[in-house]
Chains A and B, each alone.
Chain A
């Protein structure tokens, strides 16, 4: 119970990108800029997946990135959540039929929430994260 309360107030995110067009990643960075200031909710971007509570995943997984994505997920300490950001991460998006695409994230690792959009606005990302927090 108390653990959960602390987790809700302090979410550290780790950013994974595999075969995205990089636009979603820029929107994620937008969230962390002073204008949206996610730190006031306790959300921090961390550099190592060992410190993270949430993976923000963008892009649809490519063949080359597949083993790395699995490994990054396994390296994360429990409790762990994955949020798929952008159309590519949710369903494959415009790269869906690409020759080197293994699939969207939920085929490979458990995904907690989907934030659609191409790319989703920072408001949409914040809304998604808030919904995840409230559903805990």
Chain B
């Protein structure tokens, strides 16, 4: 019991994910700054932002749904903490895996997006409502190809456990380098992850230049801090999810640590480069992109996996 609480709160749950998440968000800001020929913020900037927001006043706007407004940030935070917790437990010890944990992970990884929907729609702000409706459409768009893509390698090895896919990859090499179906699935899952992180070109719900901050617009102080933290943690947890499924997982014995970090950094830098070199899509273009391009592509990957490629 005590051990479980430790896992949840300190390592590899909340504290670990939060600290690393805030650090990698700094990497994001720094690389963005370097691309724009700026200097960029110091490494502790995100921590300072977080603590500053904790010290500010919390305002619940008149007309807002109090319960939804106050609890939405917490819900997102719990979702992403659980995703990270489960993923790291399984990477540390594949034997801990249970039947159908991939499904649990996929469900939990929607929680932050659902939290944004609940928070935005209970904030009683027209721009928040627009942002919320866009967020909902974006979930509908990216969820289907994402699930198909995640299931492709699982179909290949015929198991619903994260643990068994990690052990399979330990014995047979990465899914990504050995199976054509997984290559296709990784591309699809990667682009869907960009939408799940709401980064450009899929930052349609926030769209700073059109609808200010979208669903976050009425949030202030600690609640906003929780949302920012959730986003930072997602930036850490989602790439780890993809690495676990497609790129052989994270190992921690000897030199494998460095190899794991390199895998993560490559994915992170790819995300940041895509973010900085693309314009924002409209929501209908994003829907078309996911339903008419990514979904058939993920179907092709799925069929290839079924015939054993």
Interface segment among B73-81, B144-152, B208-216: the answer is B208-216
User: Please, which residues of chain B bring their CB within 8 A of the CB of A3?
Assistant: 51-52, 55
What is the predominant secondary structure among interface residues of chain B facing chain A?
loop
Tell whether, in the assembled complex, residue A50 and residue B37 are in contact, meaning their CB atoms are under 8 Å apart. no
Interface residue tally of chain A, by bracket?
20 to 34
User: Please, which residues of chain A bring their CB within 8 A of the CB of B251?
Assistant: none
User: Please, which residues of chain A bring their CB within 8 A of the CB of B49?
Assistant: 6, 10, 42
Contacts known (A6-B48, A10-B48); A39 close to B29, Cβ less than 8 A: yes
CA distance A86 to B209 in the complex (A): 25
CA distance A10 to B26 in the complex (A): 14
User: Please, which residues of chain A bring their CB within 8 A of the CB of B33?
Assistant: 37, 39-40
User: Please, which residues of chain B bring their CB within 8 A of the CB of A37?
Assistant: 33, 38-40
In chain A between 27 and 80, which residues have their CB closer than 8 angstroms to a CB of chain B? 34, 37, 39-40, 42, 46-48, 50-51, 53, 75, 77-79
Interface segment among B6-14, B106-114, B217-225, B288-296: the answer is B217-225
CA distance A46 to B208 in the complex (A): 8
Tell whether, in the assembled complex, residue B220 and residue A50 are in contact, meaning their CB atoms are under 8 Å apart. yes
Other-chain contact of A39, B40, B216, B219, B220 (Cβ < 8 Å):
B40
Q: A9 at the A/B interface (Cβ < 8 Å)?
A: yes
Interface segment among B56-64, B166-174, B254-262, B275-283: the answer is B56-64
Most buried by B among A2, A6, A75: A6
Tell whether, in the assembled complex, residue A48 and residue B217 are in contact, meaning their CB atoms are under 8 Å apart. yes
User: Please, which residues of chain B bring their CB within 8 A of the CB of A81?
Assistant: none
Tell whether, in the assembled complex, residue A42 and residue B56 are in contact, meaning their CB atoms are under 8 Å apart. no
Other-chain contact of B220, A2, A10, A77 (Cβ < 8 Å):
A77
Q: B45 at the A/B interface (Cβ < 8 Å)?
A: yes
Contacts known (A10-B45, A39-B29, A48-B217); A77 close to B59, Cβ less than 8 A: yes
CA distance A50 to B218 in the complex (A): 6
Q: B41 at the A/B interface (Cβ < 8 Å)?
A: yes
Q: B36 at the A/B interface (Cβ < 8 Å)?
A: yes
CA distance A39 to B29 in the complex (A): 9
User: Please, which residues of chain B bring their CB within 8 A of the CB of A48?
Assistant: 212-213, 216-218
Contacts known (A40-B39, A42-B41, A50-B217); A7 close to B52, Cβ less than 8 A: yes
Within the complex, the shortest CB–CB distance from A70 to chain B, in Å, comes to: 16
User: Please, which residues of chain B bring their CB within 8 A of the CB of A40?
Assistant: 33, 38-42
- For this complex, 26 residue pairs linking A to B, each with C-beta atoms less than 8 Å apart, are A2-B51, A3-B55, A6-B48, A9-B52, A10-B49, A34-B37, A37-B33, A39-B29, A39-B38, A39-B41, A40-B42, A42-B42, A47-B208, A47-B212, A47-B217, A48-B212, A48-B213, A50-B217, A50-B220, A51-B219, A53-B52, A77-B56, A77-B58, A77-B59, A77-B220, A78-B57
Residues of B within 8 A of A (CB): 29, 33, 36-42, 44-45, 48-49, 51-52, 55-59, 208, 212-213, 216-221, 224
Q: A9-B48, A51-B213 are in contact. List 9 more A-B contacts (CB 8 A).
A: A3-B55, A6-B55, A9-B45, A10-B48, A39-B29, A42-B41, A48-B218, A50-B217, A77-B221
Residues of A within 8 A of B (CB): 2-3, 6-7, 9-10, 34, 37, 39-40, 42, 46-48, 50-51, 53, 75, 77-79
